[in-house]
Structure 1
Amino acid sequence: MLALLVAAGVALGTLVPRPLFGGAAAGDATSRHILVFTNPIHTDIAVPIDDGVLEKFDFLLDAGIQADLPAARYLVFGWGSKAFYIGTPTWSELKPAPVLAALTLDNSVMHVDLAGEIALPQPTVSRFDISEAGFASLLDFIDGSFERGSAGVQRIPGVAYGAYDGFFDANGKFNALAGCNTWTAAALRQAGLTTGWWNPLPATLNWSLGLYNRPSSFQPGGVQP
C-alpha cells in the first residue's frame, strides 16, 4: 500500500505542472543559457561564467574557488545532504550512516565546482535557453541558498572532491521528500521554466521539463521518456 501511495505521489508530482500558469520569470527573449548535469540520483546546475557572475559570486573567489581560471567556463552548483554529499565522494565509499541521514533529516550544503567547455549533446547534460530576467532570478536563488553567518559565507575546511571544488554550509534542511532534485527544480522555476509539482528524482524532473517547456528552449539530456 505504501509503495502504491509513493508511486502515485511521484506520478502526480511529475504530471501536475508547477507553476500551473507560466514561469515565474518567463520572457520571450532567450538570450542566456544554463546546463543541468544529471546522474542516477542527483542534479547540478551549471551557470556560464562571465564578469557579472564573477561579481555576484565574488565570495567564492575569496574562498579559493578558482572561477576566474582561463579554462573555466561554468560554475556548477549542487545542493544536498551534508552527511551524504561530503561522506560519499564515489559510490565505492557509500556508508550506512550518510544514507540514513539523507533519508531522514540532515543539514544541507552547497557544492561548488568548475567545468570547462561542454560538448553537446550528451546523455547526462541538458541545455536550457532562458531570458535575462530568468537568469538573474536564478542567480539570486542560488546565492540565497548559501548560509551566511556574521562572517558571511564560509567554506567548509578540508573537504573537497578535487582541486577545484568546495563545500559550503547551506540554508534549509535536507530530507528524502525535499532533496537535491527538488532544489534544482525550484531553481529552474526561478529561471522561468516549468517543472512537475514534486520531482524527487532526476528522471521525474527531466520528464516534467520535457513535458512543459518549449522545445526551442530545451536541449534534453539525462533520462527522457
Structure 2
Amino acid sequence: MVRDPGTGRARCRRYALGAVLLIIASLGFGTLVPRPFFSSVPGVAAIDTQAAASTQTVLVLSSEIHTDIALPATPGVVARFAFMAKDGLDPAQPGVEYLIAGWGGRSFYIETPTWSDLKPGPLFSALTLDRSVMHVGLAGEIDKNHPTVTAIELDEASFERLIQSVLASFTRASGGAPVIVEGANYGEYDRFYEAEGRFNAIVGCNVWTARMLRQAGLKTGWWTPLPVLLTTSLGLHNPASGFGYSPVAR
C-alpha cells in the first residue's frame, strides 16, 4: 500500500500547529495565573508618602530575553556585598547608586555579552542544560521612567528577604565566600560568580527573577520565561492600588 505524501505533510502541519498552540497557551496560563494564589508572606509596603521613608525602591531591568534586579546601594547592601571588593569590584566606591544582580546559564551568559557575540555552542547549552552563574555589576543613576525599568517599593522586612534570597543564589566556598569565575567579566564594573542550580530555557533567568520577587512577598505569573511576561504579571497580580508594586508611568 502506497502512502499519500500529502497525508503525511498534513499530519506534520497539524502537529506543528498543535505544538505552537500549546506553547502559546502555556505562556498565557503562566502569565495570568498568579503564584502564589494567596500570599503568605507579609510586609510588602503600601505605596504612599508616609511609607516612603521606610521603603526601598528595587528595579527590575529588562532586555529582550533577560532581567536583572537592581538593588539600591544602601550602606546595608554594600556591606552584604563587600566580598566583591577582594575580586576587584568595590561596591563602596564613589558614584555607585545600584548593585545589579542576575542569574543565568554559564556558557551563554559569559560568552554572549552582545548579540553579535552569539555562537552555536553557548546557544545549545542554554537550550539544553548548563551550569549557572551569578552576574553582579555596579551602576550609577538609573532612569526609572525608561520603558525597560520597573520600579518596586518594598518595606524593610520584604527588602531583607530579597537580599537574603539573592545572596543564597551564590555558591559558597568552604569558608563561606562566594566563588568567583576567574577572568569572566564584560568590563571594569562587573563580575561573574558560581551559582546554585542548573539553567535551561524553561527554568531560566526570568524564572529566577520571579522567584526572588516572590520571596519579597510579591505575586508573579506561575511561569514567566520572558521579561515581558514577568513584568506583565507583576502589573496584573500586584495592582498599584494594592501593595508592593509601583508601576512606572509610561
How far, CA to CA, are the matches of 2:40 and 2:205 in structure 1? 21
Aligned 8 A contact 1:179 1:200 in 2: yes
Deviation for aligned residue 1:182:
0.1
Preserved contact between residue 72 and residue 97 of structure 2 (Cα < 8 Å)? yes
What does residue 15 of structure 1 align with?
32
Kept in 1: contact 2:44–2:218 (CA 8 A): no
Could you say which residue in structure 1 is the equivalent of 2:11? none
Structure-1 residue corresponding to 2:72: 48
CA distance in 1, matches of 2:225, 2:43: 23
Flag the 1:25–1:139 CA change in 2: closer, same or farther, 3 A.
farther
Matches within 5 A, 1:101-140: 101-140=125-164
Q: 1:25 to 1:63 in 2, by over 3 A?
A: farther
For residue 191 of structure 2, what is the aligned residue in structure 1? 166
Kindly indicate whether residue 210 of structure 2 is the aligned counterpart of residue 185 of structure 1. yes
**1:27 to 2:55 alignment:** no
- The equivalent residue for 1:4 is 21
Distance change >3 Å, CA 23–CA 188, structure 1 → 2: farther
Deviation at 1:23, TM superposition (A): 5.8
Give the distance between the partners of 1:185 and 1:52, measured in 2 at CA: 23
Letter of the 2:228 counterpart: A
**Structure 1 position 25, deviation (Å):** 4.2
Q: CA RMSD in A?
A: 1.6
| Structure 1 position 101, deviation (Å) | 0.2
Equivalent position amino acid for 2:180 in 1: R
Aligned equivalents of 1:65 and 1:25: distance in 2? Answer: 34
Q: AA paired with 2:247?
A: Q
CA distance in 2, matches of 1:154, 1:104: 24
Aligned-partner Cα distance in 2 for 1:26–1:207: 22
Compare CA radii of gyration and give the structure with the larger one: 2
Aligned-partner Cα distance in 1 for 2:137–2:45: 30
Asked if the contact 1:18/1:194 (under 8 Å) is kept, the reply is yes
Query: What is the rounded CA distance, in whole Å, between the counterparts of 1:204 and 1:165 in structure 2?
Result: 27
Task: Give 1:62 deviation, angstroms.
Answer: 2.3
For residues 141 and 226 of structure 2, the distance between their equivalents in structure 1, rounded to whole angstroms, comes to 26
Q: TM-score, normalised by structure 1?
A: 0.94
Unaligned runs of 5+ in 2: 1-17
1:66-145 matches, cutoff 5 A: 66-145=90-169
Shift, 1:187, TM fit: 0.5
Q: In 2 relative to 1, CA 165–19 (structure 1 residues): closer, same or farther, beyond 3 Å?
A: same
Deviations 1:60-110 (A, max 9, x none): 222222211110000000100000000101110100110110010000000
Of 11-20 and 147-156, the range deviating more from structure 2: 147-156
Count residues in correspondence.
222
- The aligned residue for residue 208 of structure 1 is 233
Identity across matched positions, percent? 48
Alignment partner of 2:247 out of 213, 219, 222: 219
**Whole-angstrom distance in 1 between the partners of 2:56 and 2:181:** 31
TM-score normalised by L of structure 2: 0.85
Q: Runs of at least 4 residues of structure 1 off by over 3 A? A: 25-30
Of 52, 61, 66, the match for 2:85? 61
